[in-house]
Structure formats: structure tokens, C-alpha cells
Amino acid sequence: MASRQAHDLDIDQDLAFAQRSWRVQRAAWLGMGVVLLLALAGVLGAGPLSRSDASLPGFLRLEYQRFARYQAPQALIARLEPAATRAGEARLWVDRQYLDDSKVDTITPPPSRVEAAADRLVYVFSTRRPGEPVTIVFTLQSERIGLSSGRVGLDDAEGFVPFRQFVYP
């Protein structure tokens, strides 16, 4: 390193400080690279590390995003097993708390009707043939930042699928 030389320049040069700030800068570049890799991996939103699923064996498998972003579209996919439909209907419920924190944009297929209960909404889907698996896709947006948890279940089956996701601002 060049030594401090006496010169006739009136300047508040501070080599020790400059050295320190270069070190901080290098570390920050590394940090930026790490953040970029995390974003690619899906830790900051959709991506491989964000994809997650939970299931109610024999009835329902739920695919959701572990990490979501505020007011950004995300998908909640419910795959219903044949045992989940009864008399040409599949009755899937989502807990009210989760729906209050989200805005549902579309449901594919659209439910034939929705029944409201105190703590949940029951979506009723018509199925063409009994004994066929059915996939239902909710596209929704999170309207609340932070950790949120939801429950999805079937009216005709005991138990439910709990899931948790973190919503980035």
C-alpha cells in the first residue's frame, strides 16, 4: 500500500477509512451475490425452495408456496383423490382466517356454489364421474405481510391440511 506522503494538497484523505470502506464494499458485493442466489432458489418468492406440499393421505394433496410476496399472484393447488368426491360433488373448504388475508382472483374449475360457515368457506365442485381425481387451482394474492397459516380440508373427511407461508413485503 502506498504510504501517506506529504503533499501540498489540502484534502481530507483518510487511507485507513478508505481501506475499511473497500473491505465493507467487497463484503457487500458478496452479500448481494448471495441474495441473488437465494432469490433464484426461491427463498424470496416463487422457486424450487419455495414449492411445498402437504397432504391428507388418501383424500387430498395441497401444493402451496412456502414463500410468497405481498399482492403478487400465487397458486394454491388442491389435488383431490377419488375418495374425496361423493355423489358427484367435491366439497373443499378453506379456513376463513386465510381467506381474509388473501384475495382470491380465480378458482379453476369454478365452484358450482360456495357455502359460508363461521370459520370457513366451503367450495362445492361438480364432478363428472365418480372415482376420478380432480385438481382445483386457486390463484390468489396475499394481502397481509408476514407469517400466515391456513387450513384446507374436505367436508366429507376427518382432519385437514395445515400449511404455513411467509409473505414478503
Partner 1 sequence: MESVIRAAAIYGLLLMVFRLTGNRSLGQITTFDFILLLIISEAIQNGMVGTDHSVTNAFVLVLTLLTFDIGLSLLKSRLPALERWLEGVPLVIVEHGHPLRDRMQKSRVDVSDVLTAARKLHGLERLDQVKYAVLERSGDISIIPEHGGSDPPRA
Q: Is 7 in the site for partner 1 (CB under 8 A)?
A: yes
Residues numbered 65-124 forming contacts with partner 1, rule: CB under 8 A? 71
**What is the rounded CA–CA span in Å between residue 129 and residue 136?**
16
The H-or-E segment that residue 26 falls in is helix 15-41
**What is the rounded CA–CA span in Å between residue 169 and residue 63?**
22
| Residues across the chain | 169
Q: Which of these segments, 22-30, 83-91, 108-116, 118-126, binds partner 1 (CB under 8 A)?
A: 22-30
**What is the rounded CA–CA span in Å between residue 134 and residue 44?**
30
Q: Is 169 in the site for partner 1 (CB under 8 A)?
A: yes
Q: Which of these segments, 16-24, 52-60, 104-112, 126-134, binds partner 1 (CB under 8 A)?
A: 16-24
Closer of 72 and 114 to partner 1 (Cβ): 72
Residues numbered 32-71 forming contacts with partner 1, rule: CB under 8 A? 32, 71
Q: In what order do the strands lie in the sheet with 60-65?
A: 51-56, 60-65, 73-80, 134-142, 102-108
Query: How many other CB atoms are found less than 10 A from the CB of residue 144?
Result: 13
The answer to whether the CB of 153 falls within 8 A of the CB of 56 is: yes
Closer of 103 and 164 to partner 1 (Cβ): 103
- Looking at beta carbons, which pairs linking 111-118 to residues 24 or more positions away fall under 8 Å? 117/93
Q: Which of these segments, 2-10, 52-60, 81-89, 125-133, binds partner 1 (CB under 8 A)?
A: 2-10
Q: Is 22 in the site for partner 1 (CB under 8 A)?
A: yes
Q: At its nearest, how many Å lie between partner 1 and the CB of residue 5? A: 6
Where on the chain is the footprint of partner 1 (CB under 8 A)? 1-2, 5, 7, 9, 11-15, 17-18, 21-22, 24-25, 28-29, 32, 71, 169
